[in-house]
């Protein structure tokens, strides 16, 4: 069964802690994703890891770097992140991406490579990573509508990398999460569907029911 990964996208520490307090109450929670943005790769400048406190080691924390050419990952290590997600589009060349992935792995992280909706899935064919992430919205803002063509992209990636861990991020809700899981996703990020819900526990339960 696919795993639901709550995602937190925040500009301020106060906002982050408020959302985190809701997320941490979810039953059976395993993984949490935190979004980071530099105001360049995406227009939003989000809370940097240097302003975060140490993370609870009971959970698997993913850092989603919507950042141009990231090469310094020390602050994420200090916080306690376990997986670093970088974007294929963030680097000038595949060479630069591979160097970054090697550095991430050498620091003890799991690696993940994300691709934007307009990037061909084929670019991932020769990239070796622990995980791969299909963006099902344009990155940078929560609350966007799921791009339906993403379902075919998930299937294509599953065909390309049969044993890979595939994550999907963007526009996930009760009406599409089952289709996302059936297309081949192992990890499904839910942002607005959870953190903006009137009752986060009920929203989480409703999502779980769809994929069980």
What single string gives the DSSP state of each residue in 7-22?
EE--SSHHHHHHHHHH
Average pLDDT over residues 13-30: 96
Note the pLDDT of residue 141.
78
For residues 76 and 71, what is the distance between their CA atoms, to the nearest angstrom? 12
Count how many domains the chain has.
Answer: 1
The number of residues making up the chain comes to: 212
Q: Is the pLDDT of residue 142 over 90?
A: no
Percent of the chain residues past pLDDT 70, beyond the cut:
100
pTM of this structure: 0.97
Distances (CA, A) of 140 to 11, 58, 128, 173, 191: 11, 27, 25, 18, 12
Place of tokens 């509508």: 145
Note the pLDDT of residue 122.
98
Average pLDDT over residues 12-32: 96
Give the domain range for residue 58: 3-211
Q: Which helix (H) or strand (E) holds 114?
A: strand 110-115
User: What SS3 state is found at 31?
Assistant: strand
CATH number at residue 167: 3.20.20.70
The confidence band for 82, taking pLDDT boundaries of 50, 70 and 90, is very high
Residue 180: count of CB within 10 angstroms of its CB: 25
Is residue 95 among the annotated active site residues? no
Least Cα distance to 11 among 35, 40, 41 occurs for 35
Is residue 53 among the annotated active site residues? no
User: What SS3 state is found at 113?
Assistant: strand
For residues 78 and 65, what is the distance between their CA atoms, to the nearest angstrom? 16
Note the pLDDT of residue 143.
81
What confidence tens digit (pLDDT) does each residue in 105-120 have? Answer: 999 999 999 999 999 9
Least Cα distance to 130 among 106, 162, 100, 164 occurs for 164
> Out of 35, 95, 96, 186, which one is annotated catalytic?
35
Q: Is the pLDDT of residue 140 over 90?
A: no
Q: Which range among 1-10, 14-23, 133-142, 150-159 shows the weakest confidence by mean pLDDT?
A: 133-142
Distance of CA 178 to the CA centre of its chain: 18
Six-digit token string for 70? 């990231």
Q: Is the pLDDT of residue 100 over 80?
A: yes
31 with 63: CB under 8 angstroms? no
The more confidently predicted of residues 100 and 142 is: 100
> Out of 126, 128, 130, 169, which one is annotated catalytic?
169
Six-digit token string for 55? 């993370």
Average pLDDT over residues 161-186: 97
């Amino acid at each position: 069964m696919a795993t639901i990964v709550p995602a937190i996208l925040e500009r301020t520490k106060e906002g982050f802690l408020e959302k985190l307090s809701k997320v941490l109450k979810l039953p059976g929670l395993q993984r949490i994703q935190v979004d980071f943005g530099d105001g360049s790769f995406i227009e939003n400048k989000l809370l940097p890891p240097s302003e975060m406190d140490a993370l609870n080691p009971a959970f698997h924390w993913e850092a989603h770097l919507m950042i141009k050419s990231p090469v310094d990952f020390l602050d994420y290590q200090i916080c306690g992140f376990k997986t670093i997600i970088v974007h294929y589009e963030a680097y000038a060349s595949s060479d630069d991406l591979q160097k970054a992935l090697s550095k991430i792995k050498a620091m003890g992280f799991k690696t993940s490579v994300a691709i934007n909706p307009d990037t061909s899935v084929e670019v991932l064919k020769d990239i070796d990573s622990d995980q791969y992430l299909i963006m099902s919205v344009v990155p940078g803002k929560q609350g966007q509508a799921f791009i339906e063509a993403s379902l075919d992209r998930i299937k294509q990636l599953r065909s390309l990398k049969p044993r890979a861990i595939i994550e999907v991020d963007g526009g996930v809700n009760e009406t599409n999460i089952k289709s996302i899981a059936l297309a081949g996703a192992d990890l499904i990020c839910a942002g607005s569907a959870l953190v903006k819900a009137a009752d986060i526990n009920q929203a989480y339960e409703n999502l779980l029911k769809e994929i069980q």
